Structure 1
Amino acid sequence: MFNVLVVDDEPLICKGLSSLLASSGLEIGHIYTANSGFEALDCIRMEEVDLLVTDIQMGAMSGIELMQHAKLAKPWVQTIVISAHETFQYAQMAVRLGAKDYLIKPLNSEHFLDSVRNVLLKMDKPSPELATFMAGIGESFRLEEPLPEYSKLLNALIEEPASVMGEEEKLRKLDELKLQGPFFSVIKIKLPPPEAAGEKKYTSRDRELLRYAALNIAKELLDQEWCTVAFYSPEEEITVIIQWDERTYEESAAGQINRLDVLGRSLHLNIQKYLHLNAVIGISQILKGLSFMDVLNRQASKAIQWNKEHSDYYVFYYGDFNWSSYAADPSAEELYTHNNLIVQKAKAYIDENYAQKGLTIHEVAKKNHVSPNYLSYLFKKNTGHNLWEYVIKLRMEDSREMILHTDLRRYEIAERVGYESPEHFSKIFKKYYGISPSELKK
């Protein structure tokens, strides 16, 4: 059963779509509704949501912004966008963020349910090639090496670009691969020994198939919205080169690192889901020019090495580690001190700003110069609870004190602890304490 969240700033639309879904006969467990982006984001953080159906134009947070924050919180959440305007720019942005459909109001009921049905049907299914592999037809499965004539060239490019850049024929081949950039990032996927997942002994053929399946998963995820080249590298790694042209990069330069983080987590989650392996993902920074490809390659490889220090964490962004502060790789003690400092600073920032409307994990992470994913991991590891749970804890404790010891009205208390509507505040309060604000007051 799948859980669906419907978001629209018009309550009647939320109610209508919820009723339509409830009577559709689809495999839907819970249907949640929200009337703003911030309310929806709280729901995504606190509930198990599989599909987000959102209006694109809403008050303080648009549907596009909601999609961005939702993907950061839970990369596996799928999205269908609805809009009153057939605007190409909105549709293009929605597709880039992975929207599965873009529907125009007024909605056709049959069309809407078909769209939801298609998304839910595909949600648990791998690609046809991967499905064949997973069915266990190992011996008859025919492997087709990805870009075999270029693998050697691509590995040479990411290791020693200078040796490749001067040869006209090689540059022509690179152009055929559409490695034009000019902005690039490198992602490394390192598969663990399959034996680590259980007692089964894997043959070299099994390992070859697992690697091929992992590449298939990566290509399926990447082909939807990224301009990429994926290929095999030494040490049984898979390398992915991601690129942006000038216009695409400038459109959302500030958000590209977050999107890479989401992609890394999606790669890990899908490889774990279908192959039952905890792949380690290393993500480089973004640099301009093919001549920096060896730098990006080293960054992605170095990021992967941090799995030795964080064995329960699998997606590493090079920029999360303050390399320039150390003459050599930091010791375990230095790393522990540095991580504690990040958490202390994040906690101090939240203590001071928890009542701010529109506060996001992204904002807290930005103040610490780390990715939201890594900050969330460190915060949970060091404090024992989720970062957003800590924000809610402070808001709820503060509001409880005001309810018990002041004559402030519900909307005033909601305003003071960072909620844009008293209804949203009451919903969170009741979920947290088990009773409504008015019941507590009595």
Structure 2
Amino acid sequence: MYSILVVDDEPLIVKGLTSLLQTSGLAIEHIYNAHSGYEALDYLRMEEIDLLITDIQMDAMTGIELMHQARLIKPWVQTIVISAHETFQYAQMAMRLGAKDYLIKPLNSEQFLDSVRNVLLKLERKDEGVLQPGEAELRESFRMEQPVADKTSLLNKLFGPAGEAADAIRQLRERYGVQLEGSYFSVLRLQLGKRKASGLMPLTSKDEELLQYAALNIVKELVGQEWSHIAFYSPNQELSILLQWNEVAYADMNVNKINLLDMIGRGLHFNIYKFLGIACVVGISQILRGTEFLGELYNQAAQAAKWHQEHQDHYVFYYGDFNWSAYTHQEPTREELHDQTNLIVERAKAYIDENFTQKGLTLHEVAQKNHVSPNYLSYLFKKITGFNLWEYVIKLRMELSKSLITGTDLRRYEIAERVGYESPEHFSKIFKKFYGISPSEMKK
């Protein structure tokens, strides 16, 4: 059974789509409604959403902005976009962000339900397809061509000395038609760990090969055609992904590249863990211009992944999250690490304390002020304070709203406005979820 979030600033459309879904006979457990992007983000933070259905043009936050934020919070959430405009640019941006369909208003009911059905069917197949290494089902599920050993060897040489890398680029182009199209590059290194299930027979070398093959298939499916990339085997049961952008793609201001890397890393870890049972550690490099820096990027990704030794309950690490200049050596001591992480959380907490009533406050904004990725900030904040970062924002808002309800004569809409909510209705839902009673019941 799945949960769907329907978002549109036109209440009649939300009501109509919800009614269609309720009577569709599809495997839907919960249907949540939001009338703005900000309301939608709260549902995404607090509920387990499988499918987001959003209008693309809304006043406070566009559907494109919502998709950006949704993929930061939960990269695996699927999306269907609805729009009153057949503008190619909108459709292109939506598809680049992973939208599974782009439907034009007025919606055809059958077409809409077919689109939802297709998304849910794919989710259902994945949920039922628990893959066991060595089993026939796994072999049947992955029909990707087995990587050619010589080609894989050349791809790994891209990260070697400059002369060797240049020769590998030439041979890849001449022998296999592999062209490095980017001016800008980043490297992700995936370290495939042990299976999560206990009580299993030890893996044979053939099983490990099969798991590496299956993980590479997941990488290709997830990264797919959305981003220009080359994925391949690397030594020590690793996978490498070389992401590349040409000048035009890199200049696209609609996509925050660091958030994109973070989102890809988290999506890869989530899906490999879910479908293969492998605890995969992902190290992510910065983005640099020029093929001469490929070796450095490869080393950065390895250095980032090493931080899993210090944060063993965290799996996705971005090189730029760590203030390397603060250390006199590459391996900081535990005391240095503790001081840096505490400072990041203290600054984030101070920023939230000062700005929690701001409408449209986002995790991205808080992370940007701290010069770290949203993923790493979320992890550190929970680890050190015991609170999920957005739970902390809601806690501050609810405590203030309670004092305003019990200590002033302000109306509900005035209190909602003061504590950072767009609508009184949405404020009331959050309040009741937090305190167990409505604002009016508390007033009495």
Shared fold, TM over 0.5: yes
Contact 2:159 2:165 in 1 (8 A): no
Which whole-Å CA distance do the structure 2 matches of 1:173 and 1:2 have between them?
48
Q: Percent identity?
A: 62
Of 344-353 and 149-158, more deviation after overlay is shown by 149-158
Q: 1:307-358: per-residue Cα shift (whole Å, max 9, x none)? A: 1011110011111111121121111111011101111111111001000111
Q: 1:286-316: per-residue Cα shift (whole Å, max 9, x none)? A: 1111111001100111111111011110011
SS across alignment from 1:158: coil
In the alignment, what sits opposite 1:153?
A: 154
Contact 2:218 2:271 in 1 (8 A): yes
Residue 129 of structure 1, CA deviation:
11
Which whole-Å CA distance do the structure 2 matches of 1:129 and 1:415 have between them?
46
Which whole-Å CA distance do the structure 1 matches of 2:32 and 2:157 have between them?
51
Which whole-Å CA distance do the structure 2 matches of 1:138 and 1:389 have between them?
39
Of residues 331, 334, 337 in structure 2, which corresponds to 1:335? Answer: 337
Contact 1:188 1:237 in 2 (8 A): yes
Contact 1:357 1:419 in 2 (8 A): yes
In the alignment, what sits opposite 2:213?
A: 212
Contact 1:5 1:31 in 2 (8 A): yes
In the alignment, what sits opposite 1:112?
A: 112
Residue 197 of structure 1, CA deviation:
5.4
Q: Which runs of 5+ in 2 are unaligned?
A: none
Which whole-Å CA distance do the structure 2 matches of 1:225 and 1:358 have between them?
28
Contact 2:381 2:388 in 1 (8 A): yes
Mapping for residues 231-242 of structure 1, pairs under 5 Å: 231-242=232-243
Residue 120 of structure 1, CA deviation:
0.5
Residue 135 of structure 1, CA deviation:
4.7
Contact 1:194 1:202 in 2 (8 A): no
Q: Which runs of 5+ in 1 are unaligned?
A: none
Residue 247 of structure 1, CA deviation:
1.2
Contact 1:282 1:302 in 2 (8 A): yes
Contact 1:232 1:239 in 2 (8 A): yes
Which whole-Å CA distance do the structure 2 matches of 1:195 and 1:428 have between them?
36
In the alignment, what sits opposite 2:98?
A: 98
Contact 1:164 1:171 in 2 (8 A): no
Residue 143 of structure 1, CA deviation:
8.3
Amino acid at match of 1:78: Q
In the alignment, what sits opposite 1:34?
A: 34
Scaled by the length of structure 2, what TM-score is found?
Answer: 0.95
Q: 1:202-260: per-residue Cα shift (whole Å, max 9, x none)? A: 11111111111111111110114111111111111100101111111111376111011
Residue 162 of structure 1, CA deviation:
3.2
Residue 125 of structure 1, CA deviation:
3.0
Mapping for residues 33-72 of structure 1, pairs under 5 Å: 33-72=33-72
Contact 2:155 2:168 in 1 (8 A): no
Matched, 1:409 2:374: no
Which whole-Å CA distance do the structure 2 matches of 1:174 and 1:345 have between them?
52
Residue 172 of structure 1, CA deviation:
3.3
Of 164-173 and 17-26, more deviation after overlay is shown by 164-173
Relative distance call for 1:366 and 1:262 in structure 2 (3 A) is same
Which whole-Å CA distance do the structure 1 matches of 2:300 and 2:238 have between them?
15
Of 129-138 and 238-247, more deviation after overlay is shown by 129-138
Residue 423 of structure 1, CA deviation:
1.4
Relative distance call for 1:198 and 1:226 in structure 2 (3 A) is farther
Contact 1:319 1:370 in 2 (8 A): yes
Which whole-Å CA distance do the structure 2 matches of 1:42 and 1:195 have between them?
31
Residue 193 of structure 1, CA deviation:
3.6
Amino acid at match of 1:369: H
Contact 2:169 2:180 in 1 (8 A): no
Which whole-Å CA distance do the structure 2 matches of 1:73 and 1:168 have between them?
37
Of 155-164 and 396-405, more deviation after overlay is shown by 155-164
Which whole-Å CA distance do the structure 2 matches of 1:302 and 1:74 have between them?
25
Which whole-Å CA distance do the structure 2 matches of 1:168 and 1:16 have between them?
55
Contact 1:6 1:33 in 2 (8 A): yes
Of 402-411 and 106-115, more deviation after overlay is shown by 402-411
Which whole-Å CA distance do the structure 2 matches of 1:23 and 1:135 have between them?
39
In the alignment, what sits opposite 2:261?
A: 260
Contact 1:342 1:368 in 2 (8 A): yes
C-alpha RMSD of matched pairs (Å)? 2.3
Contact 2:378 2:388 in 1 (8 A): yes
Which whole-Å CA distance do the structure 2 matches of 1:418 and 1:158 have between them?
48
Amino acid at match of 2:429: K
Residue 161 of structure 1, CA deviation:
3.4
In the alignment, what sits opposite 2:372?
A: 370
Relative distance call for 1:429 and 1:126 in structure 2 (3 A) is closer
Paired positions, count:
442
SS across alignment from 1:54: strand
SS across alignment from 1:230: strand
Which whole-Å CA distance do the structure 2 matches of 1:48 and 1:285 have between them?
31
In the alignment, what sits opposite 2:300?
A: 299
Which whole-Å CA distance do the structure 2 matches of 1:100 and 1:134 have between them?
32
Which whole-Å CA distance do the structure 1 matches of 2:127 and 2:163 have between them?
38
In the alignment, what sits opposite 2:354?
A: 352
Q: 1:6-42: per-residue Cα shift (whole Å, max 9, x none)? A: 0000000000000000000000000000000000001
SS across alignment from 1:188: strand
Of 9-18 and 281-290, more deviation after overlay is shown by 281-290
Amino acid at match of 1:192: G
